[in-house]
Amino acid sequence: MKEFYEAIVIGAGHAGCEAALALARKGHKTLLLTISLDAVAFLACNPSIGGTAKGQLVSEIDALGGEMGKIADKTAIQIRMLNRGRGPAVQSLRAQADKVEYHTQMKKVVESTKNLFLKQGEATKIVIDGDKRSVITAVGDEFEAKAIVFATGVYLDSRIIIGSYTENVGPNGFKNAKLLSSSLTKLGYKLLRFKTGTPARVNKRSVDFKNLEEQNGEEFIQPFSFMTKKPIKNKAKCYLTYTNLATHQIILDNLDKAPAISGEIKGIGPRYCPSIETKIVRFADKDRHQLFLEPEALSTNEIYIQGFSTSMPADIQKQMIHSLKGLENAEIMRDAYAIEYDCIDPLQLKPSLESKLHDGLFFAGQINGTSGYEEAAAQGLMAGINAALFLENKQPLVLSRSEAYIGVLIDDIVTKGTQEPYRMMTSRAEYRLSLRQDNADLRLTEIGKEVGLVDQKRYKMFLDKKQKLKNISLLLNQKLKIDENLIKFFEKNNENPPKNSISLKECIKRPNIDAFKINQKFGVFKDFDYEVINEINLITKYEGYLKQQEEDIEKLKKMESQTIPEDFDYTKQKGLKIETIQKLTEVKPINLGQASRVSGVSPADIAVLGILVKKHKEAKNAERRDH
């Protein structure tokens, strides 16, 4: 017998959970099908959430009404801001999450959400019949829906590799999906073969921490979720160690046994997160590489060696680890491994993450050739929102590059494709000073409310913050009188004292002074919390740069307002190069802005395309008038 749902989400990792929660919260009966209930929101690689550019993604997910930020805050055992010594455009929050608790808490949310049904089963075949789409499982169950979201992660025909040993399983030894790749190929999808990896885990009691550098968390720091109001307590320590010449020699002496070097691994690995053996070969001039020892959870002794991903044979891994300071006698609890898996070419997707080949099929996460929990969750949320809007016969939600890191991420993969596992970085975002982590709620909460994921409680908190920002901004013109107190304050902060009274705004703009120091000394912002003081501090300090970025954003909006009709046939246009026609036909950009970012399309091509699109629209309008 068939079971009927409005939507089916295949895969319950970070993308699948966000997609299913978005659909269910918007009132759609949704099946979340996972190959293992033990793998729901499982942190298969590093036990952390956030990091450079990734922290911004998590706060954007939260501002739109997603779940990752809340669970990350709830299960964090250490939290700190990366790039604290650099500008706010590149600062990102990173938390060590309790691996066990993160899975437990997210699974609890999924299981208790109305309209959401969680079931264990392996999807093996997709059947499309008109507007009906069915998923058939390994045991013969058949589920029918109008929309399907594929969020299969790294499980498609996956295999792990440790030296010459291989096993056809998913991450952490979970069962893999053996037959779904074949079904996707039959539906016309081009598949890619990618690879990633994970380091060994060692027993905490066997590590000598005495001579290692401690990495402590930060107190009183703005968390991921704008709903979290209590400071996160740091309950664990991380430690730093380094590779050394002995480590490098062990690797170099055994390169013939390294699958990543020898060619045993056929999948393409991430350039920005390579295995340690690839690092040693690629950066031969470096005599050491930084490694982080990070706790997996409070309930286990397992320690994760971040930066030491490898697929070397187990005996070589042991030698490598024992060459590291503090790990001379380390007990290896889990061997490191590489994992190969199938994913689709994301150029087959629209900016809504809906398939160009089949209506009602959406793709999110590592199946789209991306890497990382945060990138996956961001896509999952957007795919879930757009699958819901598809069911409601509404226009999809597409975030611009100027609105969110999520917009940058999706635009990059669907416009340019990817030749390796795609990782979000601050350098990919042209407007990163405007897309800070602290203002994600100001940028996206209204959008989250419009699509129906921001509830009244969150929206009230958002309006309260906006009002407080308005109130605090009124204080900026307040003057501080020149007196001995003020002169000493300036001198203490290595600033030349003003000759006359000075406004709070002018004070904040001084390089070595900020709103927090002013408040501590003069108490002018005592009625406002950290979040609001931090916001006004950044807005004031970078006012000139933000104004310039707003002008650039306006230019982008102008380009993106010039839409390209779906029926625009590039092959019938004169004035465009053959290569340009081929590339634009493949990508099918939705506006001139997106077209300008297609690889190989020049500004001259865009100028010609703008004229051709305008003529096409005029001809269509004339045709309608004639009828």
DSSP for 402-415, written as a single string: TT-HHHHHHHHHHH
Fold for 562-626, please state it: DNA polymerase; domain 1 (1.10.150)
Q: Where in the chain is the domain with CATH 1.10.10?
A: 469-546
Q: Where in the chain is the domain with CATH 2.40.30.260?
A: 201-339
Identify the pLDDT of residue 627. Answer: 73
Pair 413, 367: CB distance under 8 Å:
no
Relative to beta strand 2-4, strand 142-145 is parallel
CA distance 473 to 537: 10
Fold for 469-546, please state it: Arc Repressor Mutant, subunit A (1.10.10)
Q: Structure pTM?
A: 0.95
pLDDT digits (tens, 9 = 90+) for 177-216: 999 999 999 999 999 999 999 999 999 999 999 989 999 9
Q: Which CATH architecture has domain 201-339?
A: Beta Barrel (2.40)
Residue 515 three-state SS: helix
pLDDT digits (tens, 9 = 90+) for 415-472: 999 999 999 999 999 999 999 999 999 999 999 999 999 999 999 999 999 999 999 9
Domain 2-197+341-450 belongs in CATH node 1.10.3720.10 = no
Identify the pLDDT of residue 222. Answer: 87
> What letter does residue 496 receive in the DSSP assignment?
P
Identify the pLDDT of residue 621. Answer: 86
The C-alpha R_g of the chain, in whole angstroms, comes to 26
pLDDT band at 343 (very low <50, low <70, confident <90, very high): very high
pLDDT band at 290 (very low <50, low <70, confident <90, very high): very high
How many helices (H) and strands (E) would you count in the chain? 21, 24
Pair 406, 382: CB distance under 8 Å:
yes
Tokens of 357: 């080949």
Residue 329 three-state SS: coil
CA distance 389 to 395: 7
Q: Where in the chain is the domain with CATH 3.50.50.60?
A: 2-197+341-450
Angle at 277 between CA 330 and CA 339, to 5 degrees: 85
- Closest alpha carbon to 375 in 60, 72, 57: 57
DSSP for 440-492, written as a single string: HHHHHHHHHHHHT-S-HHHHHHHHHHHHHHHHHHHGGGPEEP-SHHHHHHHHH
> How many CB atoms lie under 10 A from the CB of residue 617?
15
CA distance 334 to 524: 54
Q: Where in the chain is the domain with CATH 1.10.150.570?
A: 562-626
Angle at 437 between CA 20 and CA 50, to 5 degrees: 60
Identify the pLDDT of residue 47. Answer: 94
Element at 148 (helix H, strand E): strand 147-150
CA distance 350 to 369: 15
> How many CB atoms lie under 10 A from the CB of residue 141?
16
